[in-house]
Structure 1
């Protein structure tokens, strides 16, 4: 979220950032709203000051036995008392209108983000490993899983509808093994602190990481009274609502909301393995088969809270941590720098890691690492006190370390054998009871 004072001082830079995002300039509209807000605040403050001054003058008039002046002043105070609530309400009205506009504007891209209208403008940064050769035609993960009778979409549909899956036996354990492996690596080797956060969060927490207000339809909502609804406003029904987290980024980043941390406590590096829930609004017809796009999935998240001076360096470090687990699994992948037209709402710069899926014969995203600057911190009021005793907003970063469901897909398709069995990668065998192969019994 932007600071209106910064926009006031840097309108051209603000509009340039929006233009790079493919949006129309907005500084004129925002500054007009800000002018109304400031004028209303000034009028309210002047009325308050005059009321205070008149109240003192009443006492002075009475001390001089000037009853006519005292009566006139009392009448003036009474009038001010009646008009002040309206002035305060007008200031709040303009302030709320400005805040509503600011909350729906995406973050400005960093200067080194490539220009582009959509994913076709993304730039390949690096490639790791090579595509494997198979003596047979590789199958897709859902073909392998259904043949093994360990991946069941039909039963999941009876339980929950489309875009859900039931995993059993070896595949269920393999998914659990991947989550444990990712967590252990990030905690033991990369220095992240493991967190077990809530899966249901309040609206202001969703707002803090920019899921609200723009992406309300993309979330699932739980409403008190055992009623579940998507896009259900708390004002439209009895009781409060909670958002079901679309990623652990939401609760992890908000751990520093409405607080001031000392600079020597930074960077904070946090990780969690959680279920994630996404309505996938607008995804009709896309990836309808398999586990690529699910309403419920497991992901290991990485979050960093750091100083403005260290955030770029932390971004590169986070990317390296996400890459490290894929290298240990010996998976072929590439790293993409997203262009201005494809990056997320809160991001200043994003690296996507795309893993190669032999069965699909294409790369698919398995991790997205973003630096957000102070965009989320302003929405959360998350700050730090620097060594000069100055209070400033922190910078926040988030990344997948990595998506467990998609890692399962990548392992299944990469390590498939002729006949449909799945070899277990060496780094996962200790989590699998030393099982080497998942096969049909």
Structure 2
């Protein structure tokens, strides 16, 4: 095929690892192409710079009298304000720091005072906590309009406290109409939670304007991969629930037999918090806010269109969609299968022979993959602020070569994990572990992921 050409040849923002070179299976090296943003995005350069400045001042927060402790406390609490403003939260919304989106959603599940309704297309993080609570599941229909009607019918049939939905699918990148869903929920006396793990890295979100009651996200997908997440939303449910964790920092007063719990975010933030992870999210929000929103949107839309159309034009490649006709609104996430090859085999080939990193498996969305007829999994390519047209071109040409000529190396499947056979690529010297083939555990089986 003709190589893809476009003016979108520069990244929208500087990210860590942009100059990374990786070994190939034949002994050569190659610049790394990262198509795994949806799993964990690289840190923005501005984030690593901010953390480098903060690290010498790292100390305990809230209870230390030392200067470093005061600086860390100021950073931690300022981060609440910065993140809340970035997401246009209401003035009285609580901003609670968690480990990640999964932790944030489990926290809200702990606090929700009634029944929950969600779709069958959710990531496990927005599925399993509600499944354990006996939530009602609405099956997505072949159209978005039909899906909205099904949700409205379910909420009209019986009251619910919460409608829990994804903002953008982590499998197909398709975006749901959040404002319409919020209006439906509120019309029937329910609140709405948005799992924004995949939406926030790609779109600016206005919590108040969209009518979102609760929103959860992860720093590691928002260019701040340092182990923190956020739950933002109305404080009353959070203040009324028992603390998510019992421990220091979540209390006002403790006696031998009784405890008076704190209200506000502290109620659910027991223990020493992830000060650096929180600061990283705030730094990412600050950096993203300085980017021209329209320019970033055009950059992603162009690359996503190239990626989708380039893959769809290849013989034997099937691009996954939930809604075939009315889902033109997508973020930079594309899942696909290649006829004649298992997803894990495709991912191993791309890594070993082309220096391209993708994700394969079921993406913690088993019910959705089964619904789409790909219960054995797929390959996912996801783009971000550091992606370029040259990256998209390399991926499409690599898949075309696989379909035309097959792999140039042998690959074997062990315990569900595909890898080159033999595996010759060395690990970085700083790990002191030899080469990839020496690892005792090959990794998480692609079928289970």
Instruction: Report the TM range for the smaller structure's normalisation.
Output: under 0.3
Name the structure where helix makes up a greater proportion of residues: 1
Higher relative contact order (CA 8 A, sep 6+): 2
Name the structure where strand makes up a greater proportion of residues: 1
Q: What is the TM-score when the length of structure 1 is the normalising length? A: 0.23
In our comparison, the structure showing a higher alpha carbon Rg is 1
Q: What is the TM-score when the length of structure 2 is the normalising length? A: 0.23
